[in-house]
Structure 1
Amino acid sequence: MSESRIDAHVKVLDERVVRRAKRYGLDAVVYAPHFTRLPEIRAKARAFSDDDFLVVPGRELFTGSWRNRQHVLAFGLTDPVPDFLALDATMAELDRQAAAVLIPHPEFLNVGLGRAAIRRHEATIDAVETDNAKFWPHHARRARGIATEFDLLGFGSSYAHLPGSVGEVWTAFDAPIETEADLVAAFTEGAPRAVRRRHGALHWTKRGAEFAHLGYENSWGKFDRLVLPGETPTHPGHALYGGRFDESSVY
């Protein structure tokens, strides 16, 4: 049986990323940029997919407020879901859509779900990230411990914010993954998989570069530019959502 190699979470997508992913033997990536609406993500995913390479559109949802934020990764969505909802409301909406629900970087700095939140929503969660290219070894050990504690399967990704990091960590499935539906089923049905990574000095250099990038990711200046303006497209108060999420919005 052929193995499918999936980088289950990247933030960047262009021709360079696709060339690199193919060179490293990846079959697919999940493209889930922040603060970008699902139709735009879907369009870009289609544009960079071909017969040999699949880009799955996803959303890393920014739940809660800036000071109490927790990220949830989802794909297989049927409808757009905004950022800045209470965590319970986000998880209820993902459950309604029967999406694949993954927990990226658990208990990582101030953006990962903690044990209490995972325990509250474990029936909805399909997998916990046990390695990515921003993790140092102690982060990965803690994440593996969380997955074991809750009897949840793991997954790995580059979590690449920098193009050169794509394919540094991936998830290998013992089954062909040819469509978005295949990947959703692999996660929601608990398909066998292994989390793998590259090795050597260059790999650890790239991890260091990704970790250093967190300084910008978590800056108030970024938040001020992307979130506070009324036209932010993934804000729940945007006219695109028709007031549907007003009661569960934290802003």
Structure 2
Amino acid sequence: MSDGVEVRVDCHVKVLNDAVVERAKRVGLDAIVYAPHFTRLPEIRERAAAYSSDELLIIPAREVFTGSWRDRKHVLAIGLEDPVPDFIPIEVAMAEFDRQGAAVLAPHPEFATVSLTESDLRTYAKTIDAVEIFNPKHFPSHNQRARELAEMLSYPPFTSSYAHLPSSVGVAYTAFETPIESEDDLVDAFEERVARRVVHNNGARRLRTSAGELAHLCYENTWKKADRLFLSGIEPTHPSHIAYNGRFDDVAVY
């Protein structure tokens, strides 16, 4: 781990295996936030603990898909104690995050049709702790708009690799000026608006990363999405799943 002067955190990674850990260490990361799609919190926590070490802290998190498939908005929550499902109204998800005292982040704002809008960022200003101002999947105009939103609405920034591929890990990270040795430390860093800098690569490697990640995004939103919708049955993070004990049955959007 870092000596506390600067701690490098890739704040949003979708994949976790030996290759991810090896790459994270090689590029000098101190921690990564692991938040895979459609995976329940206990499973995320178990996998994060299995790969975490003194050299690399793995922090479990959930990117919750609020709303329906046609109007879903992604929100990243760190520090949850109780599981929160996907496919619930955004106001219900935000209330749950508040209740649990989680750090709430806005990944890839206004990107495609899966992100928080300017109106959402204004509405939930008391809940959201940071806005992502650089994402490798973005085109330059998207990153510029994200920076404008963060500055206009006085949100602290963050960035991440948003890695769905091991080779993308660390292409962008947030460097915090405080020790981060646990999940709670990162939650505190976001909620207390600790000083930080956003670091990313804009060269040829970044372009290769963007191309690879965008190709993966196309796959996720075509064949893989069709499989989830029509072939695989109920998602583990669907609000009516038995794991949620009926708590969210009345607010499920489908």
* Structure 2 Cα separation of the partners of residues 224 and 94 of structure 1: 30
* Structure 2 Cα separation of the partners of residues 70 and 46 of structure 1: 28
* Structure 2 Cα separation of the partners of residues 138 and 213 of structure 1: 21
Contact kept? 1:35, 1:226, Cα under 8 Å: no
* Structure 2 Cα separation of the partners of residues 204 and 223 of structure 1: 25
Contact kept? 1:29, 1:56, Cα under 8 Å: yes
1:226 match: 228
The answer to whether residue 115 in structure 2 is matched with residue 112 in structure 1 is yes
Shift in Å at residue 212 of structure 1?
A: 2.4
Shift in Å at residue 35 of structure 1?
A: 0.3
Unaligned 5+ runs, structure 2 = none
The answer to whether residue 153 in structure 2 is matched with residue 124 in structure 1 is no
Contact kept? 1:230, 1:238, Cα under 8 Å: no
Shift in Å at residue 201 of structure 1?
A: 1.2
2:12 match: 9
More divergent stretch after superposition (206-215 vs 165-174): 206-215
> In structure 2, the residue corresponding to 1:112 is in which secondary structure?
coil
2:210 match: 207
Letter matched to residue 160 of structure 2: S
Identity %: 56
The answer to whether residue 26 in structure 2 is matched with residue 23 in structure 1 is yes
1:85-123 CA-partner distances (Å, limit 9, x unpaired): 011101111110000100000000111111111111111
1:68 match: 71
Q: What is the TM-score when the length of structure 1 is the normalising length?
A: 0.96
User: After the TM superposition, which parts of structure 1 deviate over 3 Å for at least 4 consecutive aligned residues?
Assistant: 227-231
Unaligned 5+ runs, structure 1 = none
Letter matched to residue 224 of structure 2: K
The answer to whether residue 152 in structure 2 is matched with residue 146 in structure 1 is no
2:173 match: 170
Q: What is the TM-score when the length of structure 2 is the normalising length?
A: 0.95
Letter matched to residue 133 of structure 1: P
C-alpha RMSD over aligned residues: 1.3
* Structure 1 Cα separation of the partners of residues 31 and 162 of structure 2: 14
The answer to whether residue 112 in structure 2 is matched with residue 93 in structure 1 is no
Shift in Å at residue 222 of structure 1?
A: 2.6
Contact kept? 1:101, 1:125, Cα under 8 Å: yes
The equivalent position to 1:79 in structure 2, one of 82, 88, 92, is: 82
The answer to whether residue 18 in structure 2 is matched with residue 32 in structure 1 is no
The answer to whether residue 163 in structure 2 is matched with residue 160 in structure 1 is yes
1:171-229 CA-partner distances (Å, limit 9, x unpaired): 0011111111110100011101111012421221112211222212222x433433565
* Structure 1 Cα separation of the partners of residues 185 and 147 of structure 2: 25
Aligned length: 250
* Structure 2 Cα separation of the partners of residues 148 and 202 of structure 1: 27
* Structure 1 Cα separation of the partners of residues 48 and 55 of structure 2: 14
Contact kept? 1:7, 1:26, Cα under 8 Å: yes
